[in-house]
């Protein structure tokens, strides 16, 4: 159990004694960490082990909405990166949650995500008059609705889908299982796909996989990447779109809509919290309600 105030004191002492940083620099780090500490407390996070990349993303969204410039937000990331690396070095944490947040020389770059309007345009691109278009529409809707990784999407088996209950069962990294709500839009697209397009694509070949490519086999990562690029081009969206951008969009839109951090973390299946007992009181029904309330296509 590691309290945040004690860890911050230890880190600042490390910067002073071991790194020999100036008093002004230490004070700057201190202000940033106090602000982050206040954010964590406001979100009922009392232990550093309860924070992860999603928490940091929420924090960056909050300080951006408060009007902080890109340069100031970049400084906050530098502060948090140093702090979390110190936590890993001291074996307080096993993994640095800032590792996936890029900080190029030109300034702060948050994980790529699309606006709700861009998502809507992208999801409207597949041709509903063709079996593959119906399949692609269902894949895109589910990817965004459930915040899945591409590997999770293409390896889904039909028995892992519970349309009547409105959930999908997913095995993520390390074969860790989670159950995620899928929302009304994805449910409708999936029902249409299973009833109409999937039997046509199967051509009487049995397959346990939900999304079929050739000969009853699942689509490859490269195959789905090509689909994303095709529909992105058709939609006229200028920014670069990757399959993972839809997962980032899922998280960002829920957080900006007001969803609580713990629900989003559980739906993403983040490895840092998968065994944290504090999250076990969040029921699947609560997750479903959070998804319906805050997801643009819930």
Q: Known catalytic residue: 76?
A: no
In terms of phi and psi (left: phi > 0; alpha: psi -120 to 50; beta: otherwise), the region of 41 is alpha
Q: Which of 58, 73, 135, 149 is catalytic?
A: 149
253 has catalytic annotation: no
173 is catalytic: yes
**Residue 189: active-site member:** no
Is residue 224 within 8 Å of 154, Cβ to Cβ?
yes
Catalytic residue among 31, 173, 217, 233: 173
Helices of type H across 147-283: 150-154, 183-192, 198-202, 221-235, 243-257, 261-268
202/215 Cα distance (integer angstroms): 7
**Would residue 248 show up in a list of annotated catalytic residues for this protein?**
no
What b-and-e string marks burial along 167-204, b requiring 16 or more CB atoms within 10 Å of the CB? bbebbbeeeeebbbbbbebbbebbebbbeebbeebeee
| Active-site choice (85, 169, 244, 286) | 244
Tell me which of 75, 76, 198, 270 is the catalytic residue: 270
- Which among 2, 35, 169, 279 is annotated as catalytic? 279
Cα dihedral across residues 170, 248, 287, 211: positive or negative: negative
Q: Which of 247, 262, 295, 297 is labelled catalytic?
A: 247
19 is annotated as an active-site residue: no
Query: Catalytic amino acids?
Result: 149, 173, 244, 247, 270, 279
């Amino acid at each position: 159990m590691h309290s945040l105030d004690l860890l911050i004191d230890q880190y600042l002492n490390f910067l002073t004694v071991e790194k020999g940083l100036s008093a002004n620099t230490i004070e700057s780090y201190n202000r940033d960490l106090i602000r982050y500490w206040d954010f964590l407390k406001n979100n009922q996070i009392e232990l550093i082990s309860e924070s992860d990349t999603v928490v940091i993303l929420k924090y960056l969204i909050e300080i951006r909405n408060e009007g902080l410039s890109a340069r100031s937000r970049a400084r906050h990331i530098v502060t948090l990166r140093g702090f979390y690396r110190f936590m890993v070095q001291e074996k307080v944490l096993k993994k640095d949650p800032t590792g996936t947040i890029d900080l190029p020389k030109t300034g702060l770059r948050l994980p790529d995500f699309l606006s709700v309007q861009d998502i809507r345009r992208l999801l409207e691109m597949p041709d509903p008059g063709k079996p593959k278009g119906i399949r692609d529409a269902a894949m895109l809707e589910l990817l965004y609705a459930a915040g899945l990784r591409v590997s999770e999407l293409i390896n889904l088996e039909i028995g892992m889908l519970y349309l009547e209950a409105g959930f999908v069962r997913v095995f993520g990294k390390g074969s860790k299982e989670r159950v995620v709500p899928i929302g009304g839009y994805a449910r409708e697209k999936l029902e249409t796909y299973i009833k109409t397009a999937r039997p046509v694509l199967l051509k009487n070949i049995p397959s346990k996989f939900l999304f079929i490519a050739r000969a009853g086999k699942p689509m490859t990562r490269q195959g789905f990447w090509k689909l994303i690029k095709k529909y992105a081009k058709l939609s006229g969206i200028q920014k670069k779109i990757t399959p993972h951008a839809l997962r980032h969009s899922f998280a960002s839109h829920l957080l900006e809509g007001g969803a609580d951090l713990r629900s989003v973390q559980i739906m993403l299946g983040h490895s840092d919290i998968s065994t944290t007992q504090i999250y076990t009181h969040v029921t699947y029904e609560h997750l479903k309600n959070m998804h319906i309330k805050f997801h643009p296509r819930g």
